[in-house]
Copies of this chain bind each other. A is one copy, B any other.
């Protein structure tokens, strides 16, 4: 889960420290040493999250946060405040101004990352969590369980995601590349044929319940999960 993160921190050393860690975690960092620069950046890139130092020269973090909340476009961008230890009243004030979380300095990079993940997770409107059903195959994202005609089907993580995707987009044909993008992730680089292997593993797992025919091969195009039995 990577995101564009605007880091507003006037202390260059800390700014750099943060940047290094966020980047290592795969996030995109936009650095700003003062509120003025930050404001410009906000306009230009519309970050996914703002890391905001509480003590800024000139305009305070409080004020900056307030402006973010005032603008329709940035109203929903989550804010994490950086505060010096023990400024309890600031924390309270910060949270009331609309910060989503805070981290006290000094902080461990790990903690910072964890909080960022937490806030981003809270933010994303988690795709529909309802169980999927196709023919009497049933996949429940919440319990992470797959059953076919009552019997439980055991799948590895990748097969689970693959089936999840196929069931969510049943009847449609997906090329190997599409499947790689959707199931493995956009940036991951693996052989296209790898998809074949996982399809096979998935079929093998479903075979025990006689549902392996659900996944059909469309020669030259890709794969499709269909409720209609594949005619031959």
Contact = CB atoms under 8 A, between A and B. Distances in A.
Contact of A189 (B96, B110, B142, B224): B110
A23 B20 CA distance: 35
A117 B177 contact: yes
A219 B157 contact: yes
A134 interface: no
A177 B231 contact: no
Contact of A143 (B20, B173, B177): B173
A230 B9 CA distance: 49
A57 interface: no
A11 B200 CA distance: 43
23 contacts: A26-B92, A28-B95, A37-B125, A40-B126, A110-B191, A114-B177, A114-B189, A118-B177, A118-B186, A121-B177, A142-B171, A143-B172, A143-B224, A144-B218, A144-B224, A145-B171, A152-B228, A152-B231, A154-B231, A154-B232, A156-B219, A156-B220, A157-B219
Interface of A: 20, 23-24, 26, 28, 37, 40, 44, 92, 95-96, 108, 110-111, 114, 117-118, 121-122, 125-126, 142-145, 152, 154, 156-157, 171-173, 177, 181, 186, 189, 191, 218-221, 224, 226, 228, 231-232
